[in-house]
Amino acid sequence: MKLRGKTWKYGDNINTDLIIPGKYLQSRDIKVLVKHAMEDIDPHFTSKISPGDIMVAGVNFGCGSSRENAPAVLKEAGISAIVAVSFARIFFRNAINIGLPVMECAMVEKIAEGQELQLYPMEGLIYNFSTCEHLTARKLPEIILEILGDGGLVASLSKKFAQ
């Protein structure tokens, strides 16, 4: 598995209410929710990202609530992966459950917004095309890579039970 995309960079402690404000959660329509993704810190987020783009952030990304909508909205908006120094554990798990790759990398300060990255989640590597630099990330366990490769937890379990 490898992913390539343009980066959009955010800071530390981006909570689930910043990712998708709670006031919109009366809608269950993911397309409606996507229109409001990140709007409190980046009002033009959904109009500027393209499918395959990569979100980069600091520490504690996805903190706050256990809102499952948060990673789903980012994935539906076109984000192919998130690279951060660290993730709130529930966000990390929710992202894996829906098949959204997340990578922990202590060196995100070496990544600027707009740069193009290629991610290698299986190897725990990130290549920055803009700086021609390799960065290391925490390698994901085999079971998580398998879930991501299957497209998420439900798809992975369906595959296992079908065998």
What is the distance between the alpha carbons of residues 4 and 112, in angstroms, rounded to a whole number?
15
Residues facing residue 118 across a β-bridge: 4, 127
Q: What is the pLDDT along the chain (163 residues), one digit of tens a residue?
A: 899 999 999 999 999 999 999 898 888 899 999 999 999 999 999 999 999 999 999 999 999 888 889 999 999 999 999 999 999 999 999 999 999 999 999 999 999 999 999 999 889 999 999 999 999 999 999 999 999 998 889 888 888 888 7
- CB-based contacts of 132: which residues, under 8 Å, 6+ apart? none
Q: Does domain 3-162 have CATH number 3.90.380.10?
A: no
φ and ψ at 118, to 5 degrees?
-120, 125
Domain ranges of the chain: 3-162
What is the distance between the alpha carbons of residues 100 and 151, in angstroms, rounded to a whole number?
8
What is the distance between the alpha carbons of residues 153 and 145, in angstroms, rounded to a whole number?
11
User: CA angle, 94 as apex, 43 and 108 as ends, to 5°?
Assistant: 60
